[in-house]
Structure 1
Amino acid sequence: MRKEKSKFILLLFSVVDILLLIASFLLAKHLVFEGKIPHFVYYSSLILGWCIFWVLICLKYDLYEIPRILFSYKVLAKNVYALITFTFLSAGAIFFLTDYKFSRLFFTYSMLFFSFFVLLWRLFAFAKVKSYRKTGHSPSRILLVGMNENIATLINKIYLNPKYGFQIVGLYTDAIVSQGLESYYKGKLSEITTFLENNSVDEFIISLPYQQSKLINDLFRFADNNMMRVSVIPEFSEYLSQSFSIYYIENIPIMKLRSEPLKSLTNRILKRIFDVVFSLLIVILLFSWLFPIIALIIKFTSKGPVFFVQERTGKDDKAFKCFKFRSMTVNSVSDQLQATKNDARVTSFGAFMRKTSIDELPQVFNVLLNNMSLVGPRPHMLKHTAEYRVLVDKFMVRHFAKPGVTGWAQINGFRGETKYIKDMENRAAADIWYIENWSFFLDVKIVCSTAWSMFFKKDENAF
């Protein structure tokens, strides 16, 4: 039954996607050609190729798979990635495989409309799936084997949350069952085989110590012979303080303690394209006229250079020269002391620039020089890096990525003066989360949030 529903979802999503692609094609045709395309055969071949190509990309990236534990922003990020891939590969195919000159405006409109429609459709579909599961339809029947802190956390946050659509059919453990879980308790570990022989489950979740290896392997064997799926929560994860993943070399499991999406060459190229394109737009549309105005105001209101250049810690702990508009009077301690509230060194215009983050704009040149990114952990003075690497646990992990003009920590309020060690711990934790959870969609969100804050939100930590 579940297999048939999966086929139905695959068919539904692919048909809706194709209809949206055709609608985008027709809308672009109406806007660019006023309803009549210049060459019917070429453009008809184009839309046919697009439909086939898009479905293949969706199958490649598993875009028609709706996970049981559904986080919309992660699935949307996958769709954005697929849409960008679709756009670039389509443009490349048109350029290399045909001599016919398709309208670039038509192509741009088609891709923009299609991207908007697809993301809107995905959001609607995810909301409907969550609602459907929340009402108890098509639950995943799970059996829990073992009881520890991890199992208890999953029960409370996931398995008992109706939006994920799980149904606990039993809990077997030799440990004491906490109050509230008695209704799921079916017996001790030695009694589990009898239950499985008389009941059907979709999956069982095992979290047992290695001393129970015989029982674990017996359960694996039973699951394989009865078409049941098994997930294992390693018991050592209960005392491991960070997330990890496991991969295999010659069937030997190797544990990796940190996920780093930006180790992928494809992701780095995608991030770099975004950095360069967006930075060039800032230089052309904003910097070209704003720079002379800011430069003149800085020169007229205080003595000293327009730019403030300071060595800061970059990716892999390598120093680089970071550019800013000068917001302070020239002083001998700028490489030692960070700005504080009501800092006497800050000029009157400098205070305005720091409040609106305009002083950071020259860092788009650092982005174009490839020693910074638009989004990433904010770079610190060399002195502060030397201090905090000793005082803050895992502080240096944030240097696995290129520093950013803005970042996840900044839009979450962890910016400005760090009076206490806890302030820097919070900032480092946010930066590490960004490194481990990077996506193109997340970068776009951070840039948009930063732009909104610059114009419409007063930040009490900016001084």
Structure 2
Amino acid sequence: MIKRSKSSENLIFFQYALDILILTFLSLFFIKIQYLENFHKYLSISYLYTAHYKVLILFVVSWYFISVNVKLYIGSRFSGVIPIIKKNFYQILSFSIIVFAVSGFKSNELFSNKLSLKFITVLFILTTATKILLFYGIRYYRKLGGNNRKVVFVDENSNTYSFINLLTKKKHYGILNCGEFLFKVKIINKENKHKYIFKEFKNYIINNEIQTIFFSLNGQLPKETHEDLVYLAQKLHIEISFIPSEIYDSYSSLNLEYYDTYPILTFKKFPLDSFWNQFLKRIFDIIFSLFVIIFIISWLFPLIGLVILLDSGSPVFYLQKRVGLRGKVFNCFKFRTMKKSVDNNIKATVKGDIRITRFGKILRKTSLDEFPQFINVLIGNMSVVGPRPHMVIQDEHYNDIILKYSLRHYVKPGITGLAQSKGFRGEIATKEDIHKRVIADAYYVKNWSFLLDIIIIIRTFFNIISGDKKAF
């Protein structure tokens, strides 16, 4: 069993106590409203508590058992705000069944159906708001140096120092690097670095109360180091995590299953492998694209088309072959922003590209050139949100040089995506540029949710309004 820090335990208890306080207060408040509506009586809180304390106990107990199942109060310091909102949504959704059931079983209504909906809505808003405030409050506290988690790093691979730099940069994670234990230590850069000797390492983590070991896989230390560290972590009840040698390593995609008592590793299913998730995403795509086509595109297209004709002649639209779901090629619609050239299908756009027309610069800067792709969404070969589709020649090139690049083809390409909402767009000048996009795309494929799509759309909207510096 991994030891939880005292501060973590206190935080869990505080969150639970706060939710119970909100739940109890709202329950009594809405019961009071119900009495006023039915009997037009003003009753004290103490009377209501005495009359309905059994219901309140049932609510508190139900909330606790649902929270355990949803893992409402268990999270990682590396998690974002979206998982918190998702968990709380599932918590309230499950708890609403209890509310409606209890109201139905009582001889006198606890809440009417209308009041029950109001109660559930207000409960969701208040509990979500407190959790978000607490989330950002803890982040700020960690930035100031509080609630740190002591960690050490063992061995090194191609990703070790990128990960260390990330933790150093993002101080709100509250990770305190207490040392790096390596196969060899260069004297030039010896600060905070130690030669890995098992006995000395064991004494170090005990004496310094280390809470997590980060072990770099496929490093320079002998293979038996892996087993030694796992055994040591289990014996001392401290956490051990592994840094893969490749960012797109299969370790993160494996699931442990048992055939009788024999353990077998299989690849995890992605969220959009589920029929119901696909159905939800497709319904949203149809509704959203129809809304844009009817209320925006219907009057915007003629205006843009006219300006394109006056600026650079015909054609107004440009169809380009792009790679989509499962690697299938489709025709991607765009407003024409470039002069006619044989290079347009084989050469990516770069900053200051002489092929871009005068009006084309405006269309690209405002992302209006992408609006015809809502037709692609309605047809079904694109989605509102997903990895941006690349040209065929680009796709073939990156697929050969970047491991797990093809993972982005497991979902439909999108008009906007996680990479674009985070600012990873524009010219691909270095290998790092495409790596950042592929990392974001891989995260999206593995962690898709309807809420994530909504967040990406909102971010994209604000990026367009504020003006994206990387758009050209």
Fold conserved between structures, TM > 0.5: yes
| SS of residue paired to 2:90 | helix
Q: 2:238 aligns with which of 225, 229, 235?
A: 229
Deviation at 1:457, TM superposition (A): 1.3
| SS of residue paired to 1:63 | coil
TM-score, length-scaled by structure 1: 0.67
Is 2:72 aligned against 1:63?
A: yes
Q: Give the root-mean-square deviation of aligned CA atoms.
A: 5.5
Structure 1 48/392 Cα, relative in aligned 2: closer, same or farther at 3 Å? same
Is 2:463 aligned against 1:453?
A: yes
Q: 1:280 aligns with which of 275, 287, 293?
A: 287
Equivalences for residues 295-314 of structure 1 within 5 A: 295-298=301-304, 300-301=306-307, 302=309, 311-314=321-324
445-454 or 112-121: bigger deviation: 112-121
Distance in 2 separating the partners of 1:198 and 1:332: 66
Distance in 1 separating the partners of 2:172 and 2:92: 37
Deviation at 1:159, TM superposition (A): 9.6
Q: Residue 296 of structure 2 corresponds to which residue in structure 1?
A: 290
Q: Residue 198 of structure 2 corresponds to which residue in structure 1?
A: 189
Is 2:407 aligned against 1:372?
A: no
Structure 1 163/204 Cα, relative in aligned 2: closer, same or farther at 3 Å? closer
Q: Which amino acid aligns with 1:296?
A: P
Q: Residue 45 of structure 2 corresponds to which residue in structure 1?
A: none
313-322 or 335-344: bigger deviation: 335-344
Deviation at 1:406, TM superposition (A): 0.4
2:324–2:413: 8 Å Cα contact kept in structure 1? yes
Deviation at 1:405, TM superposition (A): 1.1
Distance in 1 separating the partners of 2:145 and 2:349: 55
Deviation at 1:189, TM superposition (A): 3.1
| SS of residue paired to 1:379 | coil
TM-score, length-scaled by structure 2: 0.66
Distance in 2 separating the partners of 1:39 and 1:241: 64
| SS of residue paired to 1:399 | helix
Q: 1:121 aligns with which of 118, 130, 134?
A: 130
Q: 1:85 aligns with which of 84, 87, 90?
A: 90
Deviation at 1:404, TM superposition (A): 0.8
Identity %: 22
Q: Which amino acid aligns with 1:280?
A: I
Equivalences for residues 28-39 of structure 1 within 5 A: none
Structure 1 61/416 Cα, relative in aligned 2: closer, same or farther at 3 Å? same
Q: Residue 44 of structure 2 corresponds to which residue in structure 1?
A: none
Segments of 5+ residues of structure 1 without an aligned counterpart are: none
1:377–1:403: 8 Å Cα contact kept in structure 2? yes
Is 2:395 aligned against 1:385?
A: yes
Distance in 1 separating the partners of 2:207 and 2:247: 37
Structure 1 205/359 Cα, relative in aligned 2: closer, same or farther at 3 Å? closer
2:88–2:128: 8 Å Cα contact kept in structure 1? no
| SS of residue paired to 1:117 | helix
Segments of 5+ residues of structure 2 without an aligned counterpart are: 41-47
2:416–2:457: 8 Å Cα contact kept in structure 1? yes
Q: C-alpha deviations, 1:56-115, integer Å up to 9, x for none?
A: 443223231354xx13xx2422222223434655678889999899666973x6565544
Q: C-alpha deviations, 1:207-230, integer Å up to 9, x for none?
A: 5977573x7767766665x65336
Equivalences for residues 231-246 of structure 1 within 5 A: 231=240, 233=242, 237=244, 239-240=245-246, 242-243=248-249, 244-245=251-252
Deviation at 1:378, TM superposition (A): 1.2
Q: Which amino acid aligns with 2:14?
A: L
